[in-house]
Amino acid sequence: MSTLSRVLFLCVANSARSQMAEGLARVRFGDCVVVRSAGSRPGAVNPHAIAVMAEVGIDISSHYSKHVDTVDVTTVDTIVTLCAEEVCPVVSASVRRLAWPLPDPAGYPGSEIDQRARFRTVRDEIARRLPELDHV
């Protein structure tokens, strides 16, 4: 993690994927990295995201959704977009970019059990991909 110091996770609502990524990255990288998240149409942090993160001992209950326009992208080293089926926010910054297209776990109906399972799948996939940030 010698070159990475500031990362921004982006998705549309900044309510699930990017919030989980922010929480996971903060735990993984600690004080070595400034981690933020934002979206182009921010909403509220999804209760399922809060719940599945708590299952792995990470509290994101104090997180809130932020608009990408509130982030000074000139202070970011790496942007990770998490959008799959929707159009991710575009920022005009000359920084490293990674695309991790993951389906929005909140974007599908289903039982409480089915919804939580989708959130867990996305959480676990983000955790699996975080080591990629060690090498950018």
Range of the domain at 106: 6-129
Residue 134 lies in a domain: no
Residue 117 lies in a domain: yes
Residue 135 lies in a domain: no
Residue 136 lies in a domain: no
Residues 6+ apart with CB under 8 A from 7: 25, 33, 34, 35, 36, 76, 77, 78, 79, 80, 133
| Residue of 8, 10, 11, 50 with catalytic role | 11
83 part of the active site: yes
| Tens-digit pLDDT profile for residues 17-69 | 999 999 999 999 999 899 999 999 999 999 999 999 999 999 999 999 999 99
Per-residue pLDDT at 102: 95
Per-residue pLDDT at 35: 96
Residue 107 lies in a domain: yes
Lowest mean pLDDT among 1-15, 28-42, 101-115: 1-15
Residue 87 lies in a domain: yes
The CATH number given to whatever domain includes residue 21 is 3.40.50.2300
Residue 124 lies in a domain: yes
Rounded percentage of the chain residues whose pLDDT exceeds 90: 74
What's the structural domain count of the chain? 1
Residue 45 lies in a domain: yes
pTM for this structure? 0.93
32 part of the active site: no
| Residue of 4, 7, 24, 88 with catalytic role | 88
User: For the residues 77-99, what does the mean pLDDT come to?
Assistant: 85
